[in-house]
Amino acid sequence: MSNHLEGLNLVELLDLLEPAPEPEPVSWMPQTIGWLWLGLAVAFALFLAIRKFVRYRRATAYRRAGLAALTAAGDDPARIASVIRRTALAGFPREDVAGLTGTGWLEFLDATMPGDGFVHGPGQVLARAPYQTSEAPRGLAELARHWIARHTVPPRGDGARPS
């Protein structure tokens, strides 16, 4: 030991120690190119998922509007018939829906949804509901709600989607 350290107590010796050097800050930059490619791939996949979700929401906006209008229609068959007609016009090509009346209209509704609740069920009243006042049969509102939520729209060849 050197002479200048003799006679010092432990606390004084500790005070003479030099502090440990601070380590270099860790860089946030990836060290290999693979991490950059992985980051780009994840960002691109996230972009595609968001884009698909936005397109889905836009394509099904008419269904949400139809369900809201159906809730407002209550049990009035004429209003329910109007809501279903407007929803069908929004989801299908106008030339396929606009001219349908009576049994043809009910067959169209059954063809776009599993089951036959419109031709042989409570949906029969929709063919004459706009022209006469009648009470809604039991299950009509639920059948209409099921059709709006679950009907199938064939893919369009022109790239158009429901508005």
Mean pLDDT over the full length of the chain: 86
Domain assignment present for residue 56? The answer is no
Residue 48 domain flag: no
pLDDT score, position 39? 92
User: Of 14-18, 23-27, 40-44, 91-95, where does the model show the most confidence?
Assistant: 40-44
- Our CA dihedral for 122, 124, 129, 130, rounded to 10 degrees, sits at 130
Residue 25 in domain: no
In terms of residues, how long is the chain?
A: 163
In a domain, 11, yes or no: no
pLDDT at 1 over 60: no
**pLDDT at residue 148 is higher than 50:** yes
Burial of 90 (0-12, 13-18, 19+ CB in 10 A): middle
In a domain, 112, yes or no: yes
pLDDT class for 2, splitting at 50, 70, 90? low
* Entry pTM: 0.69
Number of structural domains in the chain: 1
Query: Residue 158: pLDDT band by 50, 70, 90 thresholds?
Result: low
Range 140-153 average pLDDT: 90
Asked if the model's pLDDT at residue 160 lies above 70, the reply is no
Tens-digit pLDDT profile for residues 98-125: 898 888 989 999 999 888 888 888 888 8
Cα distance between the two ends of the chain: 89
Q: Do the domain assignments include residue 100? A: yes
Residue 163's pLDDT band (cuts 50, 70, 90): very low
Q: Rounded to an integer, what distance in angstroms lies between the CA atom of residue 42 and that of residue 36?
A: 10
Q: What integer pLDDT is reported at residue 31 of this predicted model? A: 80
Domain that holds residue 73: 61-150
Q: What is the pLDDT of residues 21-75, one digit of tens each?
A: 999 998 888 788 898 899 999 999 999 999 999 999 999 999 999 999 999 988 8
